[in-house]
Amino acid sequence: MTSNRRALLVLNTRAKPAREAAAGVVVDLQAAGFIVLLAKDDASGWQEGVPAGVEIVQANEQAADGCEVVVVLGGDGTILRAAERARNSSVPILSVNLGHVGFLAEAESEDVHAVTDAIVDRRWHVEERMALDIRVFDASKEVMRTWALNEVSLEKAAGARMIDVLVVVDGRPLSRWGCDGVVAASPTGSTAYAFSAGGPVMWPEVEAMLLVPLSAHALFARPLVVGPSSVISFELAEWSECLLAADSRRTYDIKGSNRVEVRRNPVPVRLARLADTPFTDRLVAKFALPVDGWRV
């Protein structure tokens, strides 16, 4: 069988179960006429050797160009890496959880073959998730720009004193915090770092951004939810230096007097879904919430 259908495979190569599952996915997709692609970083970590016929591509935001789907085998960290690979082409991401929580994953490890069958038959739909646009300014000059699916954090260096940051929303000053850091999250990221820092969970369809201070020494230091058209700015005191992390993957040193702006990114991340599972059910399952006795 010949076909021009292409799929990019992204996996946690450090985990043997992921490598074993990936080998099966390659076999299933190639049998259906797919060309399976693998980024160089994943290929180099595949201890048993990359399966025959798999094409190796550059590990960058163009890796998924020409593909109809990105297949992920791993946990949430692997999914975030897959989002980087699919960024240029907006290819949907279909993930199988082989990690711990796997909050973004669509299926569990025992469903791998069902997932490949669904890919072959195109039995999935796309859910768009809001992403963040992050810009760093030195005075009026933009010096860095990146994006995030979950969150962007500004944190003091290990062992350093707290940072001093003025929070500005839509051009108006809100509060100055002496703190260990701040997190700005999307609805998707509300169940990640922001949740651990005491922020609320937001349903994915909510169009908003979440702002959470980290260990702020201030009377007013509560998590805040702002509208999707708002711009959140963090203005650092001259002596404050910290680390900016986008999705805990792309990191940058931010010096004092810099300004960091966070707004809604016009390009969403596209997740492939096999079923319309209510977010409430996903929340209960992933966090093992107690609902015993509830009557269906």
Q: Is 268 exposed, middle or buried (0-12, 13-18, 19+ CB in 10 A)?
A: middle
Quick count: other Cβ atoms within 10 Å of Cβ 264? 18
**37: closest CA among 82, 75, 79?**
82
The number of residues in the chain equals 296
Name the catalytic one among 28, 42, 76, 180: 76
| Backbone region of residue 119 per phi and psi (left: phi > 0; alpha: psi in -120 to 50; beta: other values) | alpha
Cα 82 from chain centroid? 9
Q: Is 274 exposed, middle or buried (0-12, 13-18, 19+ CB in 10 A)?
A: middle
d(CA 287, CA 199): 15
3-state secondary structure of 92: coil
Pairing state of beta strands 107-108 and 93-97? parallel
Instruction: Mark whether 180 is an active-site residue.
Output: no
- Alpha helices by DSSP H, listed for 171-294, are 193-196, 279-287
Q: Is 196 exposed, middle or buried (0-12, 13-18, 19+ CB in 10 A)?
A: exposed
Active site residues: 76
